Amino acid sequence: MVALSCAGCLSDDSSLRLAARGMGLGNYSAAQYPRTRPEIEAFTYAQLGVRLPKYPPSIFVLTALDQGAETWSSADGVAIHMDYGQVVELSGLSPGFKATRSSTPLSRALEAGQMPQSGSSYPVTVTTTGVESSQSFALICNLTAVGGATEIEIVDLTLSVRPFTEVCSDGQFTVRNEYWISTKRPYVWRSRQEVAPGLPSIQLDVLKRPG
């Protein structure tokens, strides 16, 4: 991941911690989310609302951007790397932990400015690494559009989106991911992603888009 100079990015950890203190963000125990739309827009940097089971909601800030490859970070060391809206790496939830997954045709369709194709099937490799052990899963994913266009609201921002569900399995383990993709210019505004078997589903809401 190459960190570029971009509108809406924080470029280093000290800046991230400083911004987090100014917003009252970052640490799960001190999260201030959801915020109001004026508060979101008044803050220079792109922001991602993150909801993890067993943790209060939190806000991550964009720290790197390379085309559709985004890194969102919290002040307490958790990082979410996304490829056009799909989580491809999650780290920092515990010491030494990292989960990665390969890119998919969904990301490639969004890269081309297109809606993904409902009914498509594709392989995905998922790896989890811990302090003492690692696991790898070879999954087959099926992507399905769920109905037609609908509207969602993210902190007073109304968006026209098309929902998709992605179910990935190897016959023993199954993960289910959901994406809400803008109908005007394909972009994942909201998603619920499990990333890897055994991990909880994470809800991600783009509060302020990069750029």
Q: What are the sequence ranges of the domains in the chain?
A: 1-77, 96-205
Cα–Cα dist 173/137, whole Å: 9
CATH architecture, range 96-205? Beta Barrel (2.40)
Instruction: Note whether 162 and 183 are within 8 A (CB).
Output: yes
pLDDT score for 36:
85
C-beta separation of 124 from 195 below 8 A? no
Contact 59, 31 (CB under 8 A): yes
* Cα atoms in the 13 Å half-sphere on the side-chain side of 194: 18
Across the chain, which has 211 residues, the per-10-residue mean pLDDT values are: 40 44 40 73 90 83 91 88 96 89 95 95 94 88 96 94 98 96 95 93 94 77
> C-alpha angle with apex 1: 211 to 83, nearest 5 degrees?
65
Question: What is the model's pLDDT at position 131?
Answer: 62
